[in-house]
Structure 1
Amino acid sequence: MTHPFLNPSAAAEAPPGWHEADRAHLIHPQHHPVDHAAPVLWSRGEGAFLIDAEGRRLIDGLSGMWNVHLGHARPELIAAATTQLQQLAFANTYAGASHGPGVALAEKLSEIAPEGIEAFFFTTSGSEATETSVRTARWFWQSVGQPRKTKIISRDYSYHGSTGVAASVTGVTEFSQGFGPPAPDILHIPSPYPYRFEGTGQEAADLLEQAILREGPETVAAFIAEPVQGGGGGVIVPQDDYFPRIREICDRYDVLFIADEVITGFGRTGHWFAVAHWGVRPDIVQFAKGITSGYIPLGGIGVSGRIKAALDAAPPAKRWWHGFTASAHPVACAVALETIRILEAEGLAERAARKGKHLLGRLHAGLADHPNVGDIRGLGLLFGIELVADRTTKRRFGPETDLAPRLRRELFARGLSTRVLTDVICLAPPLTTPDAELEAIADIVTGAIHAVLPPVLSANTQRKNP
């Protein structure tokens, strides 16, 4: 018998009592009941659209959670999962065992990953990928006779996950508050944040060198950074001179560079991986989200030949003691292979670059003169529109303005589901989104900002409350 809360039919219908059951039994990410006083119940997905249980069709402006690159209900991905489930639903890859989908995916990733990345380990999420990157960096230095190199340097406004070490590496303090002490040997430096950082990208990168020298290069294992800071920073695109300088510093002090491509990987920014925009080579690249278009959880890391050589050379008793039950899950690997095939066949990375430039231009045309729009930024199909109480001083809105919930409600009412991160409207539509829907996104965002922050009223408010 089908559970009444499941909806196998095509009809959108809210089952009786779902809201009460949700509030009583389901703990949500970043849980608080205030967020679920009047929640939406998603029923179906079709291409670039989400349909709720009341039958409302909304453009999916965030690709689910930055991950549904190929849109919803893509038949090839459903078929790939179904076929693999019928052949081999699960097999572990421990103790000399392997399977075809895992081997094939690792081999394919070696072809499209950043230059120098040769071997891959699979997780089920970006948070697990961060845990794996940090453990791997520390293990590597231990294995080559530098056991003091344990410190990890991250950045303010970064987001690297919600598990123990990942939350500590994350540069948003809320993710560590109330959970006990953060993990040791982790420190943060300021973000390059072009809209708010007073200096060049090279000057922002030099803060890494200062931190390494302050801590002692012999104690620093790795620097971890998102090429574009998404979930914590509101889509912060760095200056062009930032990452080349970061690579120079890491090389100078023998510090591993971990590129967190969980949001930016697999065509999102116009390249397979975003570090290609600046021509830099990471020592470790971590990924998740778009690798399966969100259809099946999968994440992982790729490592350089130098790290792979250390893994292979370790004595059996001092091996890399790390793994998960679902590492290289065969169904997830099969879906990932089909996702990558479609991304290649349809040239979606190139399309993301082209479509992104057009949408960014539309956003500038509609919002550049608005007195509360401080910054409009983006790379490929990844955007942030930062709103400010005062454009001259870049003063932020206070929490008493209730800005984010008001914007979310207005965007939803106009037909767009996306994320508002405090004072930044984040956009990351599926790479397959048709031009008409991209144009609609620009119109909806422009209209919503004008509705919530009428330009004349906003200007008057600024004069009264400098």
Structure 2
Amino acid sequence: MNPYEKRREELAELDKRHFLHPTSPIKQQQEQGPAFIFVKGEGVYLEDINGKRLIDGMSSLWNVNIGHGREELAQAAAEQMKTLAFSSCFATFSNEPAINLAAKLAKISPKDLTTTFFTSGGSEANDTAYKLARHYWILKGRHEKKKIISRHRSYHGVAMGSTSATGLKPFRDFTNSIAPDFYHVENLSAEALREVIDQEGPDTIAAFVAEPVQGAGGVHIAPDDYFKKVRKICDDHDILFIADEVITGFGRTGTYFGLNHYGVTPDLMCFAKGVTSGYAQLGGVMLSQSIFDDLKKHSTGTLLHGYTYSGHPMACAVTLKNIEIIENEKLIENAQKMGEEMLKGFKWLQDKHDLISEVRGIGLMGAIELHSSTKQAAPMIVNKAAELGLICRSVVFDHMDILVFSPPLIITKQEMDKMIDILDHAIYSVEQI
């Protein structure tokens, strides 16, 4: 046994004994250990402890937008940590990176979104949005407005509120008591939203939350007029509209934010993931100017909500550098261009393989849906693709059998062609079983 194999076995045993993995099969972890132990990332590639290189076709968790191994972000973190690694933002304390980032976000976000509450990630951002929406109505004397409506096949995180909003039932079934006052409607029908509002009564509903493109639920893309209808329904019934841009923000869909495709501005907008490209933990909620004005007007005490790392100086400094790279390297434009290439490749695969029923994509978010009669083919394709050097994910909830993709925004045509070629071989291998 060479030293690398020995080290991998040692780490695998420690992993099995001491590391409870997120969103992973517990028995598989105990019996087989980690599928990969990654030691290096460079560009669109991850490298494991044995030297195997794989295209990161998921940007890890939809989030490594600028790719792996960017020394500029390491330098930004180090420089900030040398001067001010951390300070609290409670009790109106502040720091320069957080102030500059909040101002930058106001410039690049959909119009009217002017103010940011910082969190450590997407689940916290979603929980914060629901609490702020309810608190907003309390301040306006409308205590009965507390229900949150979300969509089937949505994913909003795994904190208690965000789990309750998530429209994938297995996530809610994980615990035996979810938060009250959460409701779910059909995911692509504005009329279904209207019906639930009429049924529950608009005076009981605080907010409607939706991803511009449903990511973890299978990359479901709404009809062109869906969000304009949703915006009008919310306005007509005095309901806040929360956009969950945790996956779709910062160039992923070929625009800065997913809702840019639909010409709609939400009242609150959650973000995380691509805002730092995974180099630091940061998320947040942006508020419209009118919501912020009402909070200032009606609030008489302390905003009793906050996280230890809200406005973390180092994370904010990394975020500013990440956004600078996205803009300077025109990665949003590249996401649009390479997204067209990815969808073209998916259509070529669909023409070639009877296993595929549908393909879809928007920017560098894409999905390959398989025929329902071949249930559970997607996980087998994922495993085969990994053997061949490509990381992707399967979605098998709610009678779906889908492959999903979100490669880094830096991906080139050559790398995209390689990704499609590996998929071709992986799908063919599964078809032969």
Calculate the TM-score normalised by the size of structure 2: 0.95
In the alignment, is the contact (CA less than 8 A) between 1:367 and 1:446 conserved in 2?
no
1:255 corresponds to 2:239: yes
The 8 Å contact of residues 351 and 431 in structure 1, kept in 2 or not, is answered as: yes
Which whole-Å deviations, capped at 9, do the CAs of 1:205-224 have from their partners, x for residues lacking one? Answer: 11111111111010111100
Q: Which runs of 5+ in 2 are unaligned?
A: none
Counterpart for residue 205 of structure 2: 220
Alpha-carbon spacing, 1:13–1:300, altered in 2? closer, same or farther (3 Å):
farther
User: SS of the counterpart of 2:100?
Assistant: helix
Aligned to 1:90: 86
Equivalent residues in 2 for 1:272-287 (5 A)? Answer: 272-287=256-271
Q: Deviations over 1:431-454 (max 9, x none)?
A: 011221111111111221122124
**Secondary structure in structure 2 of the residue aligned to 1:302:** strand
- Confirm whether residue 407 of structure 1 aligns to residue 381 of structure 2: yes
Once superposed, what is the RMSD of the aligned Cα atoms?
1.7
Q: For the Cα contact (< 8 Å) 2:390–2:422, is it kept in 1?
A: yes
Is 2:303 the partner of 1:320? yes
Per-residue deviation, 1:314: 3.4
Percent pairwise identity: 42
The 8 Å contact of residues 127 and 162 in structure 2, kept in 1 or not, is answered as: yes
Which residue of 2 is the match for residue 139 of structure 1? Answer: 135
Give the direction of change, closer, same or farther, for the CA distance of 1:335–1:396 in structure 2 (3 Å limit).
Answer: farther
Q: Is the 8 A contact 1:124 1:327 kept in 2?
A: yes
2:66 corresponds to which of 64, 70, 86 = 70
Q: Using the alignment, how far apart are the partners of 1:266 and 1:374 within structure 2?
A: 30
Report the secondary structure of 2:88's partner residue: coil
SS in structure 1 opposite 2:209?
A: strand
Q: Deviations over 1:90-121 (max 9, x none)?
A: 00111121000000000000000111101001
Q: Does 1:300 align with 2:284?
A: yes
Q: Give, in whole Å, the separation in 1 of the partners of 2:126 and 2:346.
A: 33
1:344 maps to 2:337: no
Q: Structure 2 CA distance, aligned partners of 1:15 and 1:443?
A: 29
Q: Take 1:342 and 1:303, find their aligned partners in 2: how far apart are those partners?
A: 25
Aligned length, in residue pairs: 424
Alignment equivalent of 2:411, drawn from 433, 458, 465: 433
Q: How far did 1:12 drift?
A: 10
Answer whether contact 2:355 2:374 (CA < 8 A) is retained. Answer: no
CA contact (8 A) 1:363 1:446 kept: no
1:262/1:288 contact within 8 Å kept = yes
Q: CA deviation at 1:43?
A: 1.1
Q: Is the 8 A contact 2:347 2:359 kept in 1?
A: yes
Residue of structure 2 equivalent to 1:49: 45
Kept after mapping to 2: 8 A contact 1:287/1:301: yes
Question: 1:366, 1:397 → 2: CA distance?
Answer: 17
Greater CA drift, 26-35 or 289-298:
26-35
Give me the TM-score of the superposition, normalised by structure 1: 0.88
What is the one-letter code of the residue matched to 1:421? V
Shift of 1:149: 0.7
Output the amino acid matched with 2:200: E
Instruction: Provide Cα deviations, 1:55-105, integer angstroms capped at 9, x if missing partner.
Output: 001000000110000111101111111111111000011112100000000
TM-superposed CA distance for 1:406, in Å, is: 1.6
Contact 2:366 2:405 in 1 (8 A): yes
Name structure 1 gaps, 5 residues minimum. 1-10, 193-203, 389-394, 458-466
Corresponding residue for residue 333 of structure 1: 316
* 2:353 paired residue among 370, 380, 396: 370
Shift of 1:313: 2.1
